[in-house]
Structure 1
Amino acid sequence: MKTRMMHTVALALLALAPAPALADGPLRQSPAEALAAKAADRAEILAMAGNYKVRFDMQETTAWQSGYVPLDRKISGGHEVVRVIEDQPDHIVLQHLLVVDDHGKTMVIKHWRQDWDYQPSRVLVYAGQGKWVWEAVPEAMRAGRWSQTVYQVDDSPRYAGWGRFETQGGVRRWRSNWTWRPLARRDAVRHPVYDRYYAINRHQPTPTGWIHWQDNMKMALKDGKLVPIVQESVLNTYERFDRYDVKAADTYWARTRDYWAAVRAAWSRVADTKGGIAIPEKADTGTVISGRLLSIADAIAAGKTTEAAGVAEARTLIDRNTATIG
Structure 2
Amino acid sequence: MKTRFKYGLAALVLLAAAPAFGQTAVDCGKADCTAFNADRAAILGMAGTYRVKFDFRETVAFVPDYEPIEPKRSGGFEAVRVIEDTGRVIRLQHLLVVKDEEDKPFIIKHWRQDWTYEPETVLTYEGPDQWKLTPVPAADRADAWAQTVWQTDDSPRYGGVGQWKHDRGEHRWISGETARPLARRDAIRKPIYDRYVGTNRHALTHAGWVHEQDNAKVGTRGGTLATIVHEVVLNSYVPSTDFDFGAADDYMRKTAGFWAAVRRQWDDVALRDGGIHLMQEAENGSSTGKQLMELADRLAKEEVTLGDAVSRARFLIDGSTKPAAATAGASRG
2: CA distance between counterparts of 1:221 and 1:117?
A: 33
> Partners in 2 of 1:37 and 1:188 — Cα distance?
40
- What does residue 309 of structure 2 align with? 310
Match of 2:205 in 1: 206
Please report how far the alpha carbon of residue 225 of structure 1 lies from its aligned counterpart in structure 2 after TM superposition.
1.1
Q: Which residue of 1 aligns with 2:112?
A: 113
- Residue 59, structure 1, aligned to residue 57, structure 2: yes
CA drift of 1:168 comes to 4.9
Matched, 1:268 2:267: yes
| Residue 242 (1) aligns with residue 232 (2) | no
114-123 or 66-75, which deviates more: 66-75
Paired residue secondary structure (1:56): strand
1:69-218 aligned within 5 A: 69-103=67-101, 104-218=103-217
Question: Which structure 2 residues correspond to residues 11-50 of structure 1 after superposition, within 5 A?
Answer: 31-33=30-32, 35-50=33-48
Partner SS, residue 72 of structure 1: coil
Cα distance, 1:295 vs structure 2: 0.2
* Structure-2 separation of matches of 1:182 and 1:324: 18
The alpha carbon displacement at 1:32 in A equals 4.6
Q: Counterpart of 2:229?
A: 230
Give unpaired runs (5+ residues) of structure 2. Answer: 1-29, 326-333
> SS at 1:265's partner residue?
helix
Q: Distance in 2 between matches of 1:223 and 1:254?
A: 51
Q: Do the aligned residues in 2 keep the contact of 1:277 with 1:325 (CA within 8 Å)?
A: no
Identity percentage of aligned residues: 49
Question: In terms of mean alpha carbon deviation, does 163-172 or 214-223 score higher?
Answer: 163-172
User: Are the aligned partners of 1:276 and 1:324 in contact in 2 as well (CA < 8 Å)?
Assistant: no
Aligned equivalents of 1:157, 1:200: Cα separation in 2: 17
**What amino acid maps onto 2:188 in structure 1?**
V
5+ residue gaps, structure 1: 1-30
Match for 1:79: what amino acid? F
CA–CA distance in 1 between the matches of 2:302 and 2:68? 46
TM-score (norm 1): 0.88
3-state SS in 2 of match to 1:228: strand
Distance across 1 between alignment mates of 2:104 and 2:222: 49
**CA–CA separation in structure 2 for the residues paired with 1:32 and 1:272:** 32
Deviations 1:10-69 (A, max 9, x none): xxxxxxxxxxxxxxxxxxxxx555x11000000000010000000001100011111211
Q: Matches of 1:70 and 1:168 in 2, distance apart?
A: 36
Query: For residue 223 of structure 2, what is the amino acid of its counterpart?
Result: G
Report if aligned partners of 1:99, 1:246 keep a CA contact under 8 Å in 2: yes
**2:295 counterpart residue number:** 296
Query: RMSD of the TM alignment (CA)?
Result: 1.4
For 1:46 and 1:258, the matched residues in 2 are separated by 22
8 Å Cα contact 1:113/1:155 also seen in 2: yes
Superposition deviation, residue 117 in structure 1: 0.2
Counterpart residue number, 1:22: none
| 1:193 aligned counterpart, secondary structure | coil
The one-letter code matched in structure 2 to 1:137 is: V
Deviations 1:273-292 (A, max 9, x none): 01210011110101111100
Q: How many residues align?
A: 296
TM-score, scaled to structure 2:
0.87
